[in-house]
Copies of this chain bind each other. A is one copy, B any other.
């Protein structure tokens, strides 16, 4: 329900013909960055704001007669009131239950009848709805999506039936999945104050008591045009989108003022935490470690970009340090890697993971991971590693350009996570400007055990006492 590397691949529409490989020195890079920044300050992504405050972004993509239509609300599970976990996701489900003008299920049936696709997703920081249809159907999608922004009707029978559906979703994804349960427990241990410590889908006991009124309250507070971003990607032009948007979304009343998105922030982490889950359903033991780090939205200077490069140096497939050390050289792990989740409105995580080979223990795997980290902290990364990582990251961004839906997600996600179009546009330059010193400084600042939680998932039965 969240996705990695939000910012990845965001440059793609901006005419970066010569993005692929960067072999320039840091100094040259800096100069190149300046020039590129100058070009990008007015990126070629039409964007405007309707009178009711709704932001609209148009991403031209004329390769095929198809459009991706997405509405993003700046409201996710971390915006839920205390005790109401799961309401953001539950409301996402209820949004398909009809309006004053459209019967329950009719919107989805209409999309199916014209051969379109649709989906919706809820994250910590946003909730989004999208359809992928032919350009002729865009106006109808906009009319229907605008309609459910203000005219949602919740019937008691839908409320109860859909609560069963989301509970079943939790059962399938979490309750029956020890790895998911461990991740929940690790998040709860990592976040001491922020609601990122509470699962997006909700705690089971709280989901069970969510009411129609809870859904209405969340809807009335956050589902207002001034809290939404419309992203239209595809075979359309901006003028036409503006006209359609004004005819549809433009008629929706601004009915709430959600204001600035300020959530409780994390205290300075003081102590290393560990979470151990023993479950007979586990077949393969696994190790994971997460550190509390800044996101693109909260980081100072280039720290997020430095962490992105660091994760690529550590993870980067079969040449990454984790895989090379643990799987190839030491033969401790059957698989291992690292990741950075840069897309978050507030603090976020830098993670390591691995599964031990059958003849090795989680403790050995952890010690080997700690050695990989210790090597980075002591000797640092190399210039060659940084450049390879930068090239891979920027190249991935180019590849991502190929998917209209991915592009629309990147824009919608980044904008609801606090980025501007300019920041999205400058991402490749920002990645390219990261130096060896930036990476080493970020690693030393953030990869400290007291900032972390370590998870062990073990196949043995739960130990009592």
Contact = CB atoms under 8 A, between A and B. Distances in A.
Interface stretch (A143-151, A258-266, A354-362, A379-387): A258-266
Interface stretch (A48-56, A200-208, A295-303, A308-316): A200-208
A150 to B, nearest CB: 28
Nearest to A180: B270
Interface string A272-297: 11111100000000000000000000
B271 A276 contact: yes
Interface stretch (A1-9, A319-327, A444-452): A444-452
Given A272-B276, A273-B275, A275-B273, A464 B83 contact: no
A139 interface: no
A374 interface: yes
Interface stretch (A89-97, A118-126, A191-199, A407-415): A191-199
Contact of A450 (B184, B206, B462): B462
Interface string A425-465: 00000000000000000001001111000000000001111
B273 A465 contact: no
A374 B465 contact: yes
Interface string A166-209: 00000000000000011011001100110101100001111000
Interface centre among A205, A206, A267, A374 (most CB of B within 10 A): A267
A136 interface: no
Given A193-B198, A370-B465, A82 B264 contact: yes
A68 interface: no
A373 interface: yes
A368 B138 CA distance: 69
A312 B118 CA distance: 61
Number of chain copies forming the complex: 2
Interface residues of A, number: 46
A77 interface: no
Interface string A107-130: 000000000000000000000000
Contacts of A195: 82
Contact of A377 (B182, B273, B464): B464
Contacts of A463: 272, 449
Contacts of A447: 465
A85 interface: yes
Nearest to A449: B463
A268 interface: yes
12 contacts: A83-B264, A181-B270, A181-B271, A185-B270, A185-B273, A188-B192, A273-B274, A273-B275, A273-B276, A370-B465, A376-B465, A448-B462
8 closest A-B pairs by CB? A188-B192, A274-B274, A83-B264, A185-B271, A271-B277, A203-B267, A373-B465, A272-B276
